[in-house]
Chains A and B, each alone.
Chain A
């Protein structure tokens, strides 16, 4: 039995133009208390952080500690 692919909109968004995961930065991934961010490699080989798991306490360290201001924390849709 395959697990369903239920779509969900995630609260944390990353501006790929500003994200410097390419240069080895993993600050947002490192600081998240819920460990929900990861680095994705796109087809052209560039890297960017993204929210992999929709398990957010909307607490903000990822946004506050991002060195380039690439991360934005929105409120999860269910409670906003």
Chain B
């Protein structure tokens, strides 16, 4: 294993789904169900059985819209406000209308959600306005249940192939180039439609621990989805709206206020005082977190030590078994007992992720990107705050639409030279006898991301970042060196990470205003609705560098009253008093 072999195979399929984490499996299932004759291939860099954010399950649906608790209109309004107004509501509204059906399907798959004594879903309030969090105390069942469905539906699963570039031709999608992560052999997949569900760009900033893989996101999500869409010419939206999360310091995973909040836990400063009214993650909330630290009131903690023993043991049971079970090991190692100590938190490094913010490949309410036949769903597609249920539901939309799309088209012809060029690019680090290993290219890129791109954003620093990234790119293209196919996978990831770093700097420089709280806090600029109440769309320019344009926010479907627009800007406890 891991030897570098020379080889190239080509296969054809109707629909290629890249990424078998959360959105991808649902897309594949829906497409196959709608068109049982379609040949659907689900390809993943890892093993679909245990890949992606939900590899160990999840402890809740963070944004379910369940009749009796919330309405699609209310949810659409909440997410629009949480995302500072920059939202094409059609996609959020459709999600809100149809996600309940997806919950019921997941329930039928055997995924268990919390229900009350009457057998009704037991939904909790975490967001500022509405009630959307559905706990899954037995959420470890998610991935297994999904996998069973994939086998039953006879989806062709291809594991340990990493997609590296999309192929296009005739103005639409034509397929993808993939590389085996254990042999370096190539697989060219011709497809009539391609659905991308490659997750967040989770290895963009460097965790403060300095450990490259100590990320919030599953570290196999290194931003290829973003890089591939970019190189194929698709539009990416609002990348400057970074993902920045409040996490357990050093462990760098969720603490997790969404579970503990409804049970009485909350975010507190060093004095144990609550300083934000709502623990739902938003740029505005992160700004308050940042201000608390700057104001000398830190560290910031998750506080549970005032809760009753039964409550604490229930929280432990959930948090230490599901989702990120090593949380329990971590607290034990530090001697942190929820009953006694508070849990120290910090501000994470930056990433791209629409699951928690809004930085993603541009898609509409059918999960269509700007390239015909190419779809994106989940964390990498720009439906704001869409979390796990958004990945499932938008994945479903992609699968359904792709099943129709392939009915009328044949394979698009593509230029064989593109495949050859990609082979040359991919294999370059294997052709050298000496050079810089991928971990050093990656470390340096990500360390520079922290130094220069972590908000608050400063123009001169971001411009310096661009210069440094150029130098690293030169080193990468001329000098990166790998010894086996595993290292080659890391080399390809380093290249995606550098592409994302370039996009992050460029997108942030383009929007000359502040928006989304800390996510795009540009110290030299105030919020400017007159000029910047719009999406920014990033594409690959003719010079091979990011190009930008503004795109209007589509007229709202659900109107928002003037006095509601600020709901997320008034998060500070006692803000009204302090302002007097």
Contact = CB atoms under 8 A, between A and B. Distances in A.
B77 to A, nearest CB: 35
A52 B486 CA distance: 10
Contact of A33 (B218, B324, B486): B218
Contact of B50 (A3, A31, A74, A75): A31
A80 B330 contact: yes
A31 B49 contact: yes
B47 A30 contact: yes
B157 to A, nearest CB: 12
Contacts of A79: 207, 209, 211, 214, 250-252
A22 interface: no
A32 B486 CA distance: 13
Contacts of B326: 58-60, 73, 75
B209 A34 contact: no
Interface in B201-258: 207, 209-215, 218-220, 250-252
B329 A57 contact: no
Contacts of B333: 75, 80
A7 interface: no
Contact of B55 (A35, A56, A59): A59
B218 A57 contact: yes
B395 interface: no
B210 A33 contact: no
Contacts of B52: 33
A41 interface: no
Contacts of A59: 55-56, 218, 324, 326
- Counting chain B CB atoms within 10 Å of each CB, the highest count among A1, A75, A76 belongs to A75
Given A31-B47, A38-B1, A78-B209, A61 B55 contact: yes
Contacts of A53: 486
A54 to B, nearest CB: 8
B210 A1 contact: no
Contacts of B212: 55
Contacts of B325: 60
Nearest to A57: B219
Nearest to B215: A57
A55 B326 CA distance: 16
Contact-residue size bin, chain A (C-beta under 8 Å from the other chain): 20 to 34
Count class of interface residues, chain B: 35 or more
A78 B211 contact: yes
B471 interface: no
B509 interface: no
Nearest to B333: A80
Interface string A41-80: 0000000000011011111110011000000011110111
B239 to A, nearest CB: 24
Contacts of B213: 34, 55-57, 76
A35 B46 contact: yes
A12 B87 CA distance: 43
A1 B56 contact: no
B220 A3 contact: no
Given A3-B437, A35-B486, A75-B333, A61 B211 contact: no
Contact of A64 (B1, B56, B207, B330): B56
Interface in B323-351: 324-326, 329-330, 333
B125 interface: no
A73 B47 CA distance: 19
A64 B323 CA distance: 12
B437 A34 contact: no
Contacts of B49: 30-31
B219 A34 contact: yes
A7 to B, nearest CB: 15
B50 A61 contact: yes
Contacts of A33: 46-47, 50-52, 55, 218-220
B160 interface: yes
A56 B307 CA distance: 33
B447 interface: no
Contacts of A64: 56
Interface string B436-452: 01000000000000000
Nearest to A30: B47
Nearest to B143: A61
Contacts of B181: 35
B489 A35 contact: yes
A29 B374 CA distance: 32
B398 to A, nearest CB: 22
A55 B2 CA distance: 16
Contact of B210 (A3, A52, A75, A78): A78
Contacts of A32: 46-47, 50
Nearest to A63: B325
Interface of B: 1-2, 46-47, 49-52, 55-56, 160, 181-182, 207, 209-215, 218-220, 250-252, 324-326, 329-330, 333, 434, 437, 483, 486, 489-490
26 contacts: A3-B437, A30-B47, A33-B46, A33-B219, A35-B181, A35-B486, A35-B489, A38-B1, A38-B2, A52-B486, A53-B486, A55-B213, A55-B219, A57-B213, A57-B214, A59-B324, A73-B326, A73-B329, A74-B329, A75-B329, A76-B209, A76-B211, A76-B214, A78-B209, A79-B207, A80-B333
Which are the 4 A-B pairs with shortest beta-carbon distances? A79-B209, A61-B50, A31-B50, A78-B211
Given A3-B437, A35-B46, A38-B2, 18 more contacts: A31-B49, A31-B50, A32-B47, A33-B52, A33-B219, A35-B182, A38-B1, A52-B486, A55-B212, A58-B329, A59-B56, A59-B324, A60-B56, A61-B55, A73-B329, A79-B207, A79-B251, A80-B333
